[in-house]
Amino acid sequence: MIAPEKPVLLTGASGTLGRILTVRLTALGWSLRATDVVAYPGELPSKASFELADLEDNEAVRRLAEGCGLILHFGGVSTEQSFDAILGPNLRGCFHVYEAARRERARVVFPSSVHAVGLYERTAILDQDCSLRPDGYYGLSKAYGELLARMYWEKHAVESVLIRIGSVLPEVPDERILSTWLSHDDFVRLIQRCATAEQVACSVVWGASNNSRSFWREDARQRIGWAPLDSSDDQADRVRGQVTNDPVAERYQGGKFVSVDFTRKDFVPGAVFPRGA
């Protein structure tokens, strides 16, 4: 695939997924304008520049986005934290990114998450238009990002691909992730298609490889021309029986994130989550 002609802004470049993208995309010829609130670990590839910046600094985000045709917005808090910890980087920061995209007429790739739908039971099979059911403040920030993207598409024609990422890992560590696993190669190929697809509008794609145990089915992958090539199926025997002792985590798609500050004495009523809702 041909690399984008304009520079690409990558927020969250020092994080786990940001480092994968920095290394892999520059090797494919992409020119990255990388940024994070912490220093980039290790040696920066030659086709990437890096600048320390806080997503809460609107002027810094605006300046970094100047001249970019694509923003890969992977910055922000990536674990379940207090609302106050998530409010600035994940909500205000996301707003700053979309304002920059509106000014530059740039496309945005927004990594949503399984945690935006984490309170569905694992027996539910979800399509792209299912109701959002965030499992905590982190998942709530991802649901907010999806709604923000939708508003910017409908009001300002800012295109977005919203990737509901499952688990981007080298290999599957336990039984739950047989359903949510996304290989590094499939992840990078998905980002490439987000950049090169002719039109994406505001599209939702489930970020998982071709796993037969997936919780998810229909999405916009045909629109952007992506089909995962890898699968967790050949790892099933290795992780059989590797589960937690937490009945809440084992019941819901969001896993252990659901258990954080879960105060109900019973489970969320199953009738709320019909299969295929």
**Catalytic center residues:** 138
**Four-CA torsion 231, 147, 32, 165, nearest 10 degrees:** -20
Helix boundaries (H) for the chain: 16-27, 58-65, 83-86, 93-104, 137-156, 177-180, 184-196, 221-224, 236-239, 247-251, 256-259
For helices 93-104 and 137-156, what crossing angle results, to 10°? 20
Q: If you compute the radius of gyration of the chain from its CA atoms, what whole number of angstroms results? A: 18
Tell me the sheet residues that pair with 108.
71, 160
Q: What are phi and psi of 36, to 5 degrees?
A: -165, 165
Tokens of 182: 């996304």
CA-to-CA distance for 223 and 203, rounded, in angstroms?
A: 8
